[in-house]
């Protein structure tokens, strides 16, 4: 099943600093919940893992990401990713990140992903997967903002922010709370459409 994801994130940091961040997988991975960087094959190829916890079961995905395009002038990166879960599921697709310098100083990241999934995860359905993806992106966005908007100078505040983000990344993604949160948001939207306002 093919899943398309488009997300936007504004960061109160100069575009050059954000560009350096998205070009450094060792930094990016600290902001991705449950993700870890295992090996740097070369300057554009990286191996890593993602742990997903569903109830009492923890599934581990091993994958490979390759930078297929790095447009420094246009501030755009294109990646190809593929991974395999120990239970036999797979994930393959492309990810593109475009940076946009906004008029008042912040930088906007536009992320577009096209992922083809197989395996047990498909049992929850396309809508639920996309909803969980949005929740995961919210976690990634929060960690990215915490890291990039921290003081640039080396100091206690900046170091504390990076340590907190790294600790969060080492925790497996807990899918069940994300599924419940996604389901609740869907129910809330339904009542808003039905009654013209959210439930009190």
Residue 60 confidence (pLDDT):
72
pLDDT digits (tens, 9 = 90+) for 72-95: 999 999 999 998 887 788 888 899
Which residue in 136, 155, 144 sits closest to 107, CA to CA?
A: 144
Residue 189 confidence (pLDDT):
61
CATH topology of domain 2-194: Alpha-D-Glucose-1,6-Bisphosphate; Chain A, domain 4 (3.30.530)
Q: Where are the beta strands (DSSP E) in 57-160?
A: 57-71, 76-85, 90-101, 107-118
Asked whether the predicted pLDDT for residue 176 surpasses 50, the reply is no
Residue 77 confidence (pLDDT):
95
**What is the torsional sign of CA 38, 15, 164, 139?**
negative
User: 70: which 2 tokens?
Assistant: 């790095």
Average pLDDT over residues 28-37: 83
CA distance 153 to 192: 46
Domain boundaries, the chain: 2-194
CA distance 17 to 129: 32
Q: What band does 137 get if pLDDT is binned at 50, 70 and 90?
A: confident
């Amino acid at each position: 099943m093919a899943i398309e994801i488009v997300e936007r994130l504004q960061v109160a940091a100069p575009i050059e600093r954000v560009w350096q961040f998205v070009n450094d997988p060792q930094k990016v991975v600290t902001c991705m919940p449950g993700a870890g960087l295992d090996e740097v094959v070369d300057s554009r190829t990286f191996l890593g893992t993602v742990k997903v916890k569903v109830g009492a079961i923890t599934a581990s995905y091993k994958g490979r990401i390759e930078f297929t395009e790095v447009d420094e002038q246009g501030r755009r990166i294109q990646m190809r990713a593929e991974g395999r879960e120990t239970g036999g599921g797979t994930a393959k697709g492309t990810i593109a990140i475009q940076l946009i310098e906004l008029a008042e100083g912040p930088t906007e990241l536009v992320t577009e992903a096209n992922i083809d999934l197989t395996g047990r995860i498909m049992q929850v359905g396309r809508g639920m997967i996309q909803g969980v993806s949005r929740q995961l992106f919210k976690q990634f966005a929060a960690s990215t903002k915490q890291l990039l908007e921290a003081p640039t100078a080396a100091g206690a505040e900046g170091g504390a922010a990076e340590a907190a983000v790294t600790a969060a990344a080492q925790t497996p993604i807990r899918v069940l709370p994300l599924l419940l949160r996604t389901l609740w948001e869907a129910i809330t939207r339904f009542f808003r459409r039905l009654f013209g306002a959210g439930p009190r």
